[in-house]
Structure 1
Amino acid sequence: MVIRLTPIGNDRKTRAPIIAVLGHIDHGKTSILDYIRGTIVQEHEAAGITQHIGASFLPIADIVDFIGPVGNKMKGRLFIPGLLVVDTPGHAAFINLRRRGGGVANIAILVIDVNSGPQPITWESVRILRDRKVPFVIAANKLDRLPGWKSDENVLSFREAVKNQRPEVVQSLDNKIYSLMADFTSEGYKMVDRFDRIKDFTKNIAVVPTSAITGEGIPDLMLILIGLVQQFLKDNIVYSDGPGKGVVLEVKSSKGLGTTVDAIVYDGYIKRGDTIIFGTLETPIETKIKALLQPKEMDEIRDPRHKFNSQDIIHAAAGVKIAAQDLDGVVAGAPFKVVWDEEEKEEVIDSIRREMQEIRIEVEEKGVILKADSIGSLEAIVKLFKENNVAIRRADVGHISKKDVIDAATSQQQDPILSVVLGFNVRILDEAMESANREGIRIFTNDVIYRLLEEYKAYVDAREEEAKLTVLSALVSPARLEIIPEYIFRRSNPAVFGVRVLKGTVSPKVQLVNQDGERVGKIHQVQLNNKSVQEAREKDEVAISINNITFGRQVKETDELHVAVPESHVRVYRTRFKDEIRPDELDALRDYVKVMRGKEGPWWGI
């Protein structure tokens, strides 16, 4: 299928703008697209709507009819041939796809449930749109679920539908939109407003209340979308009558075709038999196009083995499946260009190589293994992880494999915290899961980039806390004790007497020294209320027993006792755990250090 082109003057032509529909799970992004497609198909038996690979082409004439009277007034003034709407639910990474100068999408519809407001995936989508410099319109969806909202199947225009609502319902909607505006303000977008209150669309992001169930507001959404493209984006959709350029959506293994590439052609056109250059993470690949395939209409599919129509030529903008040899190494997000002139081939290869080199992913000798669904996603995730000081050993595109797990396992002895594999929007292959279970390697996957980071950081915090507790539990706790003279129960074999814990924590099996740093003996047992205990803390009064001493010789009633903390432990406390122990334990440690420096010299414990 060849999309018709429309002149806009000076022999320039425009292609269909590429539209991304995105938003949080269950906010209705698929439902809105289904409503638009379904309505056009119902109203036009021989509708011009066509399914592309991963996209739908909506002809402008059908959109205008769908919009209604306002759309009919625009006839004759429209120069775009239609809209190519990418089905982002099936290609979640699409908005992350890049090309020089920004994203592949020309404009986006950001779908938000007007009742529950923005959610985590919403903000991730917003940040990606901002990074890729893609303008967007907000569809404040699920209007029909607003308490008290009355729908009329004959009224789809929001401007008209809102007139039929009770004042308190209109106020409730306004409050939700004001809340939405406040959320976007905190994200750095100062000018967000309901579309029918905006005078300057160059400075404001339009919010269009919609319902994918009743269709209310969707004609307004399409009208705003077309208006923005016509007025502000015409330079972005100029079509060149030259060799096709595009970006890879997905690399697949197709029955009877071998490895194929699902792609978006965003400029020029491509033909069966063309030489095509694909970018890879290594060296660009040169191959020839064996087939260009687009889906048959649903009613044409009789045999699942023959669900594609073969095309001789594909013009931008279009979604297409490309069959060719030697596609190993091609990854989602990679750019491609067609070569018509053999003399220009090296120049094209160099330009593809330079474009791939713009994706600079610096790795380190030690670090985590990152996997993502496309190059664009990989860029975004690497950027976020580096901003959060996470070392990256390898970053790659594709599902998590056994090799990834083996690579992660090599870091296990050096740094277990870095011995992990993290995947964004990818699957864990069975052999990788088996290997991970066998090697004890943690794998994290998520389809929200910042959540992947949060999960990893939580894991790091937990592991560091475990390590800290392990080290702390191995350290001798400091304590300062005073003898209670009236509680001398036994003077020898063993000596048993009462002590008051002034500061810190005392336990069995620790050595004691006196106020001069002289060793007294090792505590055999600690009793509180005639019961053996494993520790006693500040203000506790306990009985302790010490073998091989005589009370009155090695220890006297007037002595002040300290737990003998090894000098190496003192250094660990001072450098790593000063903030991890109780204030009274820290005081006890300082008192003990003072005693030992009086005996051993001023550098003791440093």
Structure 2
Amino acid sequence: MKELRIKGSYQHHKELKAAQGIKITAQGLEHAIAGTQLHVVGPDDDLEDLKDEAMQDMKNVMSRIDKTGEGVCVQASTLGSLEALLEFLKSPAVNIPVSGISIGPVHKKDIMRSSVMLEKKKKEYAAILAFDVKVTPEARELADELGVKIFMADIIYHLFDQFKAYVDNIKEEKKKESAEEAVFPCVLKILPQCVFNKKDPIIVGVDVLEGIARVGTPLCVPTKEFIDIGRISSIEINHKAVDTAKKGQQVAMKIIGNNPEEAQKMIGRHFEVEDELVSHVTRRSIDILKENYRDDLSLEDWKFVLKLKKLFKIP
């Protein structure tokens, strides 16, 4: 363990036990993976069998890569730390898919591999979780250019916290972008004694029979050939404005026409107080819910979405 700049010859040993540190010289060491097993080939050993055994650790790690090809890229300083990080990411509480792994500093080739996620429209996975490794200046520059995020930490939990905050931010951005097209499932029953305005706009009290009534939801009347009556523009509970109302709640709401150039449908002319109002879902709106609002709906709400698919004959 002497400083290498001090001139002197190495001491050669046939056997070492509990050494603080040793230097190994061998051919092809530049291809060795830090943290893998070291085998000494004896005169009676089969070289190919030992090669297979030496590769077993790496094969075990490679088996944890997501088969779909979608996920983050993970890099660590040694095989042991890589295994620990992969085990953490695979745990049910975390559950982050991994599409690629590497050991050592982050290079340009690692950035290129991660950028494939951008082509697959998986921006949240165009990221590298770098655990206790450095990032080359060239790799950092290319990452900024392509839009690949690099998260660095020497503590696994810190790495996860950084990535989770990043993913949450992307989800919020997607929600904002798709807010107008997202249609939450609901069935509303007009309260006969609470019809405050029959048209331009329709203002009524309703009972939410199923699902979630949400501001912006387009409504139609299935019993009247699915006639569209407009969108929910506001919801009030006890004279307080809210964005949503759930099953079992009675609320007041204002409904305005979808097309300002067309006359709005009227209660008593185009549909009756007894008719139920249903959110007008489409294949597109359901896909948006699945992608961006999956956790906002309960299991019961998703079952109701299936009922609406049948009602609107959506494939």
TM-score normalised according to structure 1 size: 0.38
In 2: Cα distance, 1:527 partner to 1:453 partner:
38
2:134 partner SS: coil
**1:456-477 Cα deviation digits (max 9, x unpaired):** 4565566557656766663223
Which segment is superposed worse, 361-370 or 347-356?
347-356
Residue 296 of structure 2 aligns with which residue? 580
The amino acid across from 1:307 in the alignment is I
Structure ranking higher on relative contact order (CA contacts 8 Å, 6+ apart): 2
Residue 411 of structure 1 aligns with which residue? 117
In 1: Cα distance, 2:152 partner to 2:80 partner:
17
Q: Classify 1:386/1:540 alpha carbon distance in 2 versus 1 (closer, same or farther; 3 Å).
A: closer
Q: Classify 1:351/1:381 alpha carbon distance in 2 versus 1 (closer, same or farther; 3 Å).
A: farther
2:79 aligns with one of 375, 379, 389: 375
Residue 333 of structure 1 aligns with which residue? 35
Residue 203 of structure 1 aligns with which residue? none
**1:389-424 Cα deviation digits (max 9, x unpaired):** 544333222111111111011123333343321222
User: 1:99-138 residue pairs with structure 2 within 5 A?
Assistant: none
Residue 252 of structure 2 aligns with which residue? 541
> Offset of 1:381 from its aligned partner?
3.2
1:313 aligns with one of 1, 7, 12: 12
> Offset of 1:517 from its aligned partner?
5.0
Question: Is the radius of gyration larger for structure 1 or structure 2?
Answer: 1
In 2: Cα distance, 1:402 partner to 1:440 partner:
13
Residue 499 of structure 1 aligns with which residue? 204
In 2: Cα distance, 1:308 partner to 1:520 partner:
88
1:412 partner SS: helix
**1:213-232 Cα deviation digits (max 9, x unpaired):** xxxxxxxxxxxxxxxxxxxx
Residue 43 of structure 1 aligns with which residue? none
The amino acid across from 1:409 in the alignment is S
> Offset of 1:562 from its aligned partner?
0.9
8 A Cα contact 1:444 1:455, kept in partner: yes
Structure 1 portions without partners, runs of 5+: 1-51, 53-293, 297-305
Q: Classify 1:495/1:484 alpha carbon distance in 2 versus 1 (closer, same or farther; 3 Å).
A: farther
In 1: Cα distance, 2:193 partner to 2:28 partner:
90
Q: Percent identity of the aligned residues?
A: 21
TM-score normalised according to structure 2 size: 0.65
> Offset of 1:443 from its aligned partner?
1.9
**Number of aligned pairs?**
286
> Offset of 1:524 from its aligned partner?
9.0
2:136 aligns with one of 408, 426, 429: 429
The amino acid across from 2:296 in the alignment is E
In 2: Cα distance, 1:378 partner to 1:520 partner:
56
2:9 partner SS: strand
> Offset of 1:433 from its aligned partner?
1.6
**1:269-323 Cα deviation digits (max 9, x unpaired):** xxxxxxxxxxxxxxxxxxxxxxxxx338xxxxxxxxx435322524624434457
Residue 154 of structure 2 aligns with which residue? 447
8 A Cα contact 1:520 1:555, kept in partner: no
Q: Classify 1:422/1:352 alpha carbon distance in 2 versus 1 (closer, same or farther; 3 Å).
A: farther
Query: Which structure has the highest strand share of the two?
Result: 1
8 A Cα contact 1:526 1:545, kept in partner: no
8 A Cα contact 1:488 1:496, kept in partner: no
In 2: Cα distance, 1:496 partner to 1:386 partner:
52
8 A Cα contact 1:515 1:560, kept in partner: yes
User: 1:231-270 residue pairs with structure 2 within 5 A?
Assistant: none
2:118 partner SS: coil
**1:540-563 Cα deviation digits (max 9, x unpaired):** 33454555245542144x343514
User: 1:133-152 residue pairs with structure 2 within 5 A?
Assistant: none
In 1: Cα distance, 2:220 partner to 2:79 partner:
62
